[in-house]
Amino acid sequence: MSVQADSIKPDVPTKSDRWKQVRKNRWAYTFISPFYILWMIFGLGPFLFSLYLIFVKWDGLGPLEFIGLKNFIFLFKPGGGEVFWKSIGNGVILFFMYVPIMTFLAIVLAVILNSQRVRGFRFFRTLIFAPYVTSMIAAGFTFRLILEYDGGLFNILLNVFGMSSVPWLEDAWWARISLCLLVIWGWLGYNMVLMLAGLQTIPRELTEAAQIDGATPVQAFFHITIPLLRPVIIFSLILSTMGTFALFNEVYALTFTPGGPMRANLTPFLHIYNVAFQDFRFGRASAMSYMYAILILAVSWLQLRYFGREDN
């Protein structure tokens, strides 16, 4: 006797069947529940509360006063969100000052360590990666001692060669250069490891075939290695973008004043921290946080949209 195919219907579990499965696996759910409970308390809870703080005025102790969208409007008023937008501008300046250099150095070092001609590449890889696992607060204070105007190691060496001292931490642009040096020192190894992992997925036969056809190592690097490494480069650039605007420990430890001279190194994270925990304006700080998140998402989307396409 034949059975029509369309007459066969799969068994759909009922609500009681689902509860039976839950009761059956109750101990498994019990053991994994601490993660979800802690996530709801320390993750989802603060997120929803910060979303509510956008619409209120609160100093952390008094009653919450509902003010609507005034915290957002403040950011666009003349002179209202001036410091916030300056911190965004500082992030853009710092990004173009050190990210291209750091990314290029990371690619070059990864290519060198990926070649078979380098002996002891594990030692050099560990040596370059070591600053990433170093405390950035300690590194920032060390850089501050090295870059002091009077008695700093860099200026002492300059004076030995007959050159005048440089105001590394006292001038706005020199303070930015000092911060870039610290960030490159601390994050170059991490980006190099990313590039090295990407290079190890590229077959060596492609580069060797190009060199057999007459391409120089430089031509093979720019026309074969770089295009195949593009997804990793885009990933590194997105991480560097978020990291640049979120610089906190480096700025806090390196500069004598919050944000450095003329607030040249003031980043959005540091400004939001100052507004929330020094001025005690939590509603305004929450509005700045969400505006910052929107800008970062937009920039990341643009990077993926225009630099991550295969036809570029």
Q: Is the pLDDT of residue 15 over 80?
A: no
Angle at 234 between CA 231 and CA 240, to 5 degrees: 145
For residue 136, pLDDT over 80 is answered with yes
Q: What is the end-to-end Cα distance of the chain in Å, rounded?
A: 61
Percent of the chain surpassing pLDDT 70: 93
CA distance linking residue 59 with residue 52, whole number of Å? 14
Two tokens, residue 102: 């750091």
Distance CA 312, CA 305 (A): 10
Quick check: 67 and 57 in contact, CB under 8 A? yes
At residue 51, does pLDDT exceed 80? yes
Write the burial class of residue 192 (CB in 10 Å: 0-12 exposed, 13-18 middle, 19+ buried). Answer: buried
Checking if the pLDDT of 10 tops 60, the result is no
Query: Across all residues in the chain, what is the average pLDDT?
Result: 87
- Averaged pLDDT, 4-18: 61
pLDDT at 13 exceeding the cut of 70: no
Please name the amino acid found at residue 2: S
Q: Is the pLDDT confidence value at 192 over 90?
A: yes
Tokens encoding 283: 């509603």
Cα separation, 249 vs 50, in Å, equals 23
239 has a pLDDT exceeding 90: yes
- If one counts every other C-beta atom within 10 angstroms of the C-beta of residue 288, the result is 27
**Does the pLDDT of residue 2 top 70, yes or no?**
no
The DSSP line for 3-69 is: --GGG--PPPP-HHHHHHHHHHTHHHHHHHHHHHHHHIIIIIHHHHHHHHHTTEE--SSS--EE-TT
Condensed to tens digits (0 to 9), the pLDDT of residues 67-107 reads 999 999 999 988 788 999 999 999 999 999 999 999 999 99
Distance of alpha carbon 310 from the chain centroid: 24
Express each pLDDT in 248-278 by its tens digit. Answer: 989 988 886 678 888 899 999 999 999 999 9
Domains in the chain: boundaries: 10-73, 77-307
Gap between the Cα atoms of 296 and 302, Å rounded: 10
Provide CB contacts within 8 A for 113, sequence distance 6+.
121, 124, 125, 192, 196
Counting beta carbons within 10 angstroms of the beta carbon of residue 86, is it exposed (0 to 12), middle (13 to 18) or buried (19 or more)?
middle
Q: Say which range, 8-12, 44-48, 49-53, 226-230, has the weakest mean pLDDT.
A: 8-12
The identity of residue 185, as a single letter, is W
The whole-number average pLDDT for the span 119-143 is 88
> What average pLDDT does range 224-233 have in this prediction?
89
Radius of gyration of the chain (CA): 27
pTM (two decimals): 0.85
Provide the pLDDT for residue 292.
Answer: 93
If pLDDT is split at 50, 70 and 90, which confidence band does 310 have? low
Is residue 203 very low, low, confident or very high in pLDDT (cuts 50, 70, 90)? confident
> Does the structure show a pLDDT above 80 at 128?
yes
CATH 3.30.420.40 fits 77-307, yes or no: no
H-helix segments, 115-223 = 121-129, 136-146, 153-160, 172-199, 204-212, 217-220
Q: Which of 17-21, 26-30, 46-50 has the lowest mean pLDDT?
A: 17-21
Residue 261 to residue 125: CA distance in whole angstroms:
36
What's the rounded mean pLDDT across residues 232-244? 92
pLDDT exceeds cutoff 70 at 7: no
Given a cut of 90, whether residue 211 has pLDDT beyond it is: no
Amino acid identity of residue 169, one-letter, is: L
Q: Is 18 helix (H, G, I), strand (E, B) or coil?
A: helix
Q: Which DSSP symbol is given to 81?
A: S
Query: Crossing angle for the helix pair 230-245 and 172-199, nearest 10 degrees?
Result: 150
Helix (H, G, I), strand (E, B) or coil at 56: strand
Mean pLDDT of 289-299: 93
Q: Does position 209 have pLDDT exceeding 50, yes or no? A: yes
What pLDDT is attached to residue 58?
92
pLDDT of 1: 47
